[in-house]
Structure 1
Amino acid sequence: MKKMLTNNLGLKLLSVIGAIMLWLIVMNIDDPYTYRDFSPIQVTMLNENVVTDQGKVYKIEDGSDVISIRVWGKKSVLRELDITDFTATADMQKNIKYNDLVGIEVTCSNKNIRSADINLSRENVVISVEDASSEQFNVVVKQNGKVADGYMIGTALPEQSLIQISGPASVIAKIKRVEVEIKTTGVNSDRTIHGKLNVLNSDGEAVDTTYLEYTGKNDGMDVAITMLRSKTVPLSVGHTGTPEEGYSFSSISYKPETVMIAGASDAISKITAILIPDEAINIDGVSENQQQTIDITQYLPDGIRLADETDALIAVSVEIEKKQGKTVTIPVSRIGVQNVPAGMEVDFGDTSSIELVVMGTSSELAALDTEAIAVTLDVGHTRAGNYTETLNVTLPDSGCSLMQDVEIQYKLVKRTAADDNKTTGDSSSTNGSIDSKKENVSDAGNDNTTGNSTPDNTAGDNSSGDSAGESKNDSATE
């Protein structure tokens, strides 16, 4: 037996080794030793209090807390693995190095995989440690979306007007604005809307909030909104005062001419325009164009506000024009004669017309209806004679004015019997005056006839006188 075992021993050992190798080859072909990659795997930080207990915070740099791994093992084992079978940790208490590196350890829940079978894409989580900071910020509401037509949001009140945010000092220093964003598309009634918090820097860009903590509010904030009715109404702007002598108000303009207002339904339904009182624009004594800006919020009715506060200021422009003169000729036939004493009439003599100098702007003068100018003469005398009176001139309501008073000379004469018999003898009318002048010519002829007889009578009287004189002289002689 012993001889049989030792006979050809080398050959037998070679056969055994060959068999083992063949078995290994067969097994490797059927269930080979290979690898499998898994990613991404999030690294969990442990014992963070090592840093935070010192009043500091840390930030993970460059996404170094996310790794990939390569796992070696039997194909049959690897086939059963899932990414959830692996746990990656970085213990800040035992694995921190150089204050900014924390070693990563990866374990597998499958006992067939050892730590040595796992290759990591990186060995450390890179951190930066800095002082912690905490600060309070005002919370403003940002509306996202267009509300229903004819409505606007009256008030939007977040459940907290202040929020405290803690985190790395360098990040806190970047925060300039905290807003809660709500969606308001189609809203037409009072309600509460939940919005998300946005943390912004001075450029309006989002700040990385990964390492920030909001006291009591991590998932957003509720906002209570009230709705108002809105509508667009015109503005009405007037003025007061009188420009410097020789100048006239020409026009007033303003931008915008309309404004959108908001208020409760019952209040806004009564508003048809926003009236700016005349006292707001005073042009007293001015001689050049005026421009000014007016805040119209002070003139809004109670319970009414602007839909957009940026519309509060309007630009007002007042045009002032230097007056010009225009000569208007009025025939005396258009002068209305008033209060002529009974038995008297007015004679304008050789005067056929008068001239009025009317002052106004170019547009006022162009619009002046000269036919509507009324000129009257108030006689105010009772005895015949020559007079000079100031005419009463009434201009139409066109903005024009008379440069100076206009006087006229006339003669107040007695009417004759022939004038009294005329059916057209209206002493207050111009035609009557003209007819009177014609009658005066006729009367003058009659006076001449009378004058011719008068000398005869006078002569007779003188003759009698002479006789009487002669008698007296005779008596005296005797």
Structure 2
Amino acid sequence: MKERLINNLGLKVLSVFLAFIIWLVVVNVSNPLVNRRREVTLEIENSEVLTAARRAYKISSKSTVTVSFDIHTRDEYKIQLSDFRAYIDLSELYDVTGSVPVKVEVLHNDNIYSNVTAKPGVVRVETEEIQTKPFELVADVQGAAADGYALGSVVLTPDVVTVEGPISQVGLINHVGIRIQADALSGDMEGHTGLVFYDANGNELEVDERVSTDADETGIDYKLYVNKVKELMLDFDVSGDVAPGCRYTGVSCSRRGVPVTGSRSVLSSLNTVMIPASVLNLDGASGDKVVTVDIREYLPEGVELADSEDPMVEIRLQVEPMVTRTMELIERDITLGGQESDRYYRLVPSRVEVTVQGLSEELDSLTEEDLGAFVNVEGLEPGLHPGSMAFSESDIFTVVSWQEFQIEVTLRSGVVEAGTQPQESTAPEEESSSSQVYSAREPGLTEPAAEAGATSGSVVQGTQAETVVSE
């Protein structure tokens, strides 16, 4: 087989070459017609017919058609894509099927083309209602300000745009805005940019060319303000009465301050953020009450939280149960007020039980002196009188009750009551009696008590019989 192929190889090559020459001569002499094709962009005419009817349109097939034509072989080099124009006339749209015939025109060298046709000969046009919808612009600021500063408000011009397009496209748009890139800013920033469409998830949305806005040509101007950051302390106005037997002991918070931003003139007069009593009410509380608030609700106008700050703050109002404790007061623990120097005063019984209420850890360190017990004996005549006791005001304890007691008042030796006559006595007797009576260095104090360091208003244990010998 191989020998047959290479046998007379030169003659075989020569015959192929001569055949090509003969074909070329025949073609140039006869100049036959050949069929050729070109892809031509499909143009739209009379689209205003649908626009006037508030209808948007879309070509279902591709935006080009194949133009087929016959041409003589020697004219093929003259073929130009610009020689053809393919178009559809929307005024000829057939509403039932939505189809429009494709028309082809030969614009140049029409004498060399014949049997010019388009494929497909008919295209389908989809139409739908046009929707017009206004959107308030939002600014998507990316990046962060420099340390000690925070990104503030953004002013957009215009701040509202009108979007128009097919209802299927406009319905996909959730909001419209601009994107601003801010990196380590310490001052205000201005610029000009285009619109960005977003879906309901906040993702950028690509819409087709049939969607337009009234700001497509002018664009959007923006100004981004950058503010200083200031730390404001939280303050709490707690109101209400806790349940009986309980006490409000204080407030704790997940944080003591919040960083805020705003104009310098506004921030200069602010130091705290007050959480109002209407939120922090303890009426009837018998245990801790936890309140979670959105701090933004209590910021004054013109003040905002710094970027990335969590606005939620947890506040714990601490309420603890109180316990009672009985304490025994003796006369030196009680201050007597209004004493007269010519009389002795004694409590009956000499030990008085007092019941106090407070927090367990505070009552553990409470002493009898801390109660500040006080008995007013001003104007009491000799004899027995029902006693009443007062105590120091304190946030630590509350006096619940005290044991009933009496105040015994007696005259000092040698003092004559009104309406009686003094008894005569001999000098030795007076000398003996005076040697048994202690004079008071201060009103209401016996000499031994004064020597023992007692102060005015204190009561020394013991009975009058132990310190006074009557005549």
Distance 1:282 1:93, change over 3 A: closer
* CA 1:65–1:419: 2 relative to 1, 3 Å: same
Letter in 2 for 1:419: Y
Deviation at 1:118, TM superposition (A): 12
Aligned pairs for 1:151-166 (under 5 A) are 151-166=149-164
Residues 173/22 of structure 1: CA separation in 2 closer, same or farther (3 Å cut) = closer
Q: 1:192 to 1:432 in 2, by over 3 A?
A: closer
Q: Deviations over 1:58-100 (max 9, x none)?
A: 12347x2268999999xxx999999x88978443469978534
Q: How far apart are residue 48 of structure 1 and its match?
A: 3.6
In structure 1, how many angstroms separate the alpha carbons of the residues matched to 2:370 and 2:159? 70
| Alignment-derived partner of residue 261 in structure 1 | 260
Rg comparison, structure with higher value: 1
Distance in 2, Cα, partners of 1:138 & 1:282: 40
For the 8 Å contact 1:372–1:395, the answer to whether it is kept is: no
Separation in 1 of the partners of 2:220 and 2:114? 45
Scaled by the length of structure 1, the TM-score of the pair is 0.67
Superposed CA deviations along residues 342-389 of structure 1, whole A, max 9, x for unmatched, are 1322234663x3322111244554564555232233222443322331
Distance 1:53 1:267 in 2: 53
Query: Is the Cα–Cα contact under 8 Å of residues 197 and 220 in structure 1 kept in the other structure?
Result: yes
Shift of residue 237, structure 1, vs aligned partner: 0.7
1:129-170 residue CA offsets vs partner (Å, 9 max, x unmatched):
223333333222222322333333443232123222222232
The equivalent residue for 1:401 is 398
Residue 413 of structure 1 and its aligned partner are, at CA, apart by 2.7
CA contact (8 A) 1:180 1:220 kept: no
Provide Cα deviations, 1:7-60, integer angstroms capped at 9, x if missing partner. Answer: xxxxxxxxxx998624157999xxxxxxx9999x86554554464455422123
Q: Give the gaps of 5 or more residues in structure 2.
A: 1-14, 27-35, 414-433, 441-445
> Which residue of 2 is the match for residue 433 of structure 1?
460
Inter-partner Cα distance in structure 2 for 1:86 and 1:230: 68
The reply on whether 1:419 has 2:438 as its aligned counterpart is yes
3-state SS of the aligned residue for 1:403? Answer: strand
What CA distance in whole angstroms lies between the structure 2 residues aligned with 1:162 and 1:431? 84
Please name the residue that 2:133 is paired with.
135
Which residue does the alignment assign to 1:23?
21
Alignment correspondent of 1:212:
211
Tell me the amino acid that sits aligned with residue 322 of structure 2.
K
Cα contact 2:149–2:229 (8 A) shared by 1: yes
Q: Is 1:137–1:177's contact at 8 Å kept on the other side of the alignment?
A: yes
The answer to whether the Cα contact below 8 Å between 1:346 and 1:433 also exists between their aligned partners in 2 is no
| CA shift digits 1:283-320 (9 cap, x unpaired) | 45666665656676675456534447997775554344
CA distance in 2, matches of 1:196, 1:217: 8
Q: Secondary structure at the match of 2:145?
A: coil
2:57 alignment partner in structure 1: 58
1:219-258 matches, within 5 Å, as 220-254=219-253, 257-258=256-257
Partner of 1:462: none
Report which of the two has the higher share of helix.
1
Asked if 2 retains the 8 angstrom alpha-carbon contact of 1:72 and 1:118, the reply is no
Report deviation, 1:207: 4.8
* Aligned residue among 181, 187, 190 for 2:188: 190
CA RMSD of aligned residues (A): 5.0
Number of the residue aligned with 2:325 = 326
- Equivalent AA in structure 2 for residue 391 of structure 1: M
Q: TM-score, normalised by structure 2?
A: 0.68
Larger mean CA deviation between 248-257 and 370-379 belongs to 248-257
Equivalence for 2:32: none
Give 3-state SS (helix, strand or coil) of 1:267's partner.
helix
Change (3 A) 1:51 1:391: closer
- Structure 2 residue 88 is matched with structure 1 residue 91: yes
Percent sequence identity is 18
Q: State the Cα distance separating 1:227 from its structure 2 match.
A: 3.1
Other structure's SS at 2:58 match: strand
Secondary structure in structure 2 of the residue aligned to 1:243? coil
Number of residue-to-residue matches in the alignment: 417
Residues 443-464 of structure 1: per-residue CA shift (max 9 Å, x gap): 55xx6xx7xxxxxxxxxxxxxx
Q: By how many angstroms is 1:402 displaced?
A: 0.7
Question: Equivalent residue for 1:7?
Answer: none
Secondary structure of the 1:210 match is coil
Q: Which moved more, 1:187-196 or 1:44-53?
A: 44-53
8 Å Cα contact 1:419-1:425 kept in structure 2: no
Distance 2:241 2:17 in 1: 125
The gaps in structure 1 that reach 5 residues or longer are 1-16, 29-35, 451-478
User: Secondary structure at the residue paired with 1:149?
Assistant: coil
- Residue 217 of structure 1: how far off its partner (Å): 2.0
- Summarize deviations over 1:87-130 as a string: whole Å, max 9, x none: 7844346997853466496999999x97999998x887654222
Change in CA separation of 1:229 and 1:428 when aligned onto 2, cut-off 3 Å: closer
Decide whether aligned partners of structure 1 residues 186 and 336 sit closer, same or farther in structure 2, where only a CA change above 3 A counts: same
User: For the Cα contact (< 8 Å) 2:49–2:91, is it kept in 1?
Assistant: no
1:242 Cα offset (Å): 3.6
Moved more, 353-362 or 44-53: 44-53
> One-letter code of the match for 1:274?
V
- Matched with 2:337 is 338
Aligned residue in 1 for 2:7: none
